[in-house]
Amino acid sequence: MKLPTHDAAAREIPEESSHRVVLPRRTPVAPLRQVARRLLMALLVLVATVAIVWIDRDEYHDNANGSVDFLDCVYYATVTLSTTGYGDIVPYGDGARLLNILLITPLRVLFLIILVGTTLEVLTERTREQWQLNRWRNALRDHTVIVGFGTKGRSAAQTLRATGLTRDRIVIVDPSPKVIDSAVAEGFAGVVGDATRSDVLVRAEIQRARQVVIATQRDDTAVLVSLTARQLNKKANIVAAVREEENAPLLRQSGADMVITSASAAGRLLGLSVHSPSAGTVLEDLIQQGSGLDLIERPVVKAEVGKSVRETDDLIVSVLRGHRLLGYDDPAASPLQAADRVITIVRAASAEQQDGPTKPGVKPMIPGTGVSPMAPVRRDD
């Protein structure tokens, strides 16, 4: 199988657009609206200055005719706020000079800030983004990196969200800036770049990630991403999707812990749905987290230790004991041990339970179990 150095989608983006980390942000204000707001603020400052000068116009002197009318007040306010200051109209009274010090000078400074507001805003925005980025990197631990945000990657993110993983614990990596913008709009952090390059994955803090989901469009790209990810993180649980069954062994050799053949899985579901539509509906419900019935993996709770598989409240279909996966009808599966993990079928949580607020530091519970979702097994080698 030919292994290109870059994904095909990555060649379509310019070099300066790659290697960017994009964090979720508030909806920006339209440029025309920002300009209109600044012009209005500048006009209000000008009107306030004209009013101050007009009220105290008797203490101003015009070198042309000695008196100051309304037009002279507007003229004086304009040249004063713009710091031009021709000197043809000057305050000679103590009150006028005091007002210049206390009111007009601060208004002049405010007017200048509005004029250079664009530059200041850019500097402030860049400083804020850099501060947020540093804070995000320092706080990111045991997160999930999803490489590719197409149909498979988006579905994987939705499933992770349904199992209780928050958006700030998911990082999306994709070579397309438009795709990353879409992910950021949904509340995920994103990294623009080719995931076959180690520096791009490092920007996603993959070296501290707990899980990596590889959902690229090409099998050869998935192999390269898996190799790079495993080199950077020896203990992460890597799950990858491939289109062709023949590429699955190569992907496992490259470091993937679990390989899902998307074309074969879809074909099996199609065949099952043709032979038994009801069974196909149930299976689709099981793999769609958050609705109907959910197929979940969790640790054995204290009350279940010593019981038979059939004596538990949940419908247990398999027991994971060490590295052995035992079926529910396997005599060795019973009794349950404290170190076991079980794969069960439970009723999905309601929308209110999924979207309701949780206390800080409290993990979401699996419905019907009273335990938190099971974390993926970390590699020891």
**Residue 202 sits in a domain of what CATH number?**
3.40.50.720
pLDDT at 39: 78
Are residue 126 and residue 146 in the same domain, yes or no? no
Are residue 145 and residue 132 in the same domain, yes or no? no
pTM above 0.85, yes or no: no
Are residue 231 and residue 146 in the same domain, yes or no? yes
Is residue 10, in this structure, part of any structural domain at all? no
Reduced to 3 states (helix: H, G, I; strand: E, B; else coil), residue 318 is strand
Counting the structural domains of the chain, the total is 3
pLDDT at 213: 94
Are residue 31 and residue 94 in the same domain, yes or no? yes
Is residue 280, in this structure, part of any structural domain at all? no
Are residue 131 and residue 161 in the same domain, yes or no? no
Are residue 229 and residue 314 in the same domain, yes or no? no
Q: Could you give the CA distance from residue 50 to residue 69 in angstroms, rounded to a whole number?
A: 11
Is residue 16, in this structure, part of any structural domain at all? no
Are residue 85 and residue 99 in the same domain, yes or no? yes
Reduced to 3 states (helix: H, G, I; strand: E, B; else coil), residue 234 is coil
Is residue 324, in this structure, part of any structural domain at all? yes
pLDDT at 24: 66
Are residue 307 and residue 332 in the same domain, yes or no? yes
Are residue 212 and residue 235 in the same domain, yes or no? yes
Q: Which residues in the chain show pLDDT less than 70?
A: 1-20, 22-32, 34-35, 117-123, 287, 290-291, 349-381
Are residue 230 and residue 311 in the same domain, yes or no? no
pLDDT at 165: 87
Are residue 312 and residue 203 in the same domain, yes or no? no
Domain assignment of residue 30, given as a range: 24-137
Is residue 370, in this structure, part of any structural domain at all? no
